[in-house]
Amino acid sequence: MGGIPLPLMNAQYDAIMRSYASKRAISRRELEERVMNIQKQVPELSSLDSSLASLRAGKVRAAIENDPKKLHDLDKKLAELTAERERLLKAHGYTLSDLNPSYSCPDCQDTGYIGTEKCHCFLQAEINLLYHQSHLKEILEQENFNTFSYSWYEGPDREIMRHHVMDAELFIESFDRKFQNILLLGKVGTGKTFLSNCIAKELMDTGHSVVYLTAFQLFQLLSKVVFSGQSNREEAFRQTYPYVFDSDLLIIDDLGTELPNSFTVSQFFLCINERILRRKSTLISSNLNMGALEDTYSERILSRIISNYTILQFPETDIRVRKKLHSLT
């Protein structure tokens, strides 16, 4: 690798478009199989479908002949047969949607575009490629609100987590209306990453672009720009990693585990600050406490964070052992 990747090269664009084509091919094949299967089990369906087709053709003729009475009769008959078809399917345990293709993104029907605009799923595919976060999807299948359990926490800790989950749900629910940021603080293994994954999944599922970076990865990107030889480093970074500034949500996991220097710290401030100015939400998690954060990133950064972030302090329970026990039962 080496060097700085440009925002989406032709080959990457082609790769994304190819994956859409293969998704469409898969759903087409699935549909054909499903329809054949349904026709086998509901033999009356074929004759109903041909009656419906000839009624529709009749409607076109009636429209050309400008015959409102005939049009009205045909509409009535069409409605009857359509209802009959639905009833028939239902009696065999199917719905109308079983006769339509199922897309992984219904918004663009797996074409990547809505009109001439890139669909949100295209933007996310672009982000996943540029920031090497293709594994994120699998992680989010495992770590989300459905797999979260309060049984990992006990007594007052459970109460604290109920409040944090409520705050997380509120954050998601009001995401499009209200600009907000979250800082999750707590020791290793207390469930901070799990909760931020829950939030990431909900927002991605509702078509928001999410960039997930460990602090280590983010600071690596920041320091790459230093060595790129560009005179205007800030601008270079902005052009190279636009989604760090632009994405609907930026998650910075494990702040405090990277090796910061004075340059990356000032770039980190720029990034935090610019997202606040653009009113783009950021979620940071850290194993450090407030004092250690201030020592590492300066008072300037910390006060910017404190005044713009909701801070959730996690209980001290290490949930990793309980999660394992839980998954065995």
> What is the dihedral sign for C-alpha 281, 223, 189, 194?
positive
Number of other residues whose CB lies within 10 A of the CB of residue 215: 21
> Between residues 105 and 195, which has the closer beta carbon with respect to Zn ion?
105
Distant-in-sequence, close-in-space partners of 89: CB < 8 Å, separation ≥ 6: 38, 42, 45, 95, 96, 98, 99
Task: Determine how β-strand 249-255 pairs with β-strand 117-118.
Answer: unpaired
CB of 112 to Zn ion, least distance (A): 6
Rounded CA separation 299/287 (Å): 18
- Angle formed by the axes of helices 262-278 and 290-308, nearest 10°: 20
Rounded CA separation 42/60 (Å): 28
- Counting DSSP H helices and E strands in the chain, the numbers are 13, 7
Rounded CA separation 208/175 (Å): 10
Residue 10 carries which DSSP code?
Answer: H
- Angle formed by the axes of helices 215-227 and 233-240, nearest 10°: 130
CB of 108 to Zn ion, least distance (A): 3
**Which of 170, 264, 160 is closest to 216 using CA atoms?**
264
Residue 101 carries which DSSP code?
Answer: -
Rounded CA separation 191/318 (Å): 8
Q: Which two three-digit tokens encode residue 235?
A: 């601008």
Rounded CA separation 288/185 (Å): 7
Sites of contact with Zn ion (CB under 5 A): 105, 107-108, 119, 121
> Between residues 107 and 295, which has the closer beta carbon with respect to Zn ion?
107
Are 78 and 52 within 8 A, CB to CB?
Answer: yes
CB of 202 to Zn ion, least distance (A): 17
CB of 16 to Zn ion, least distance (A): 11
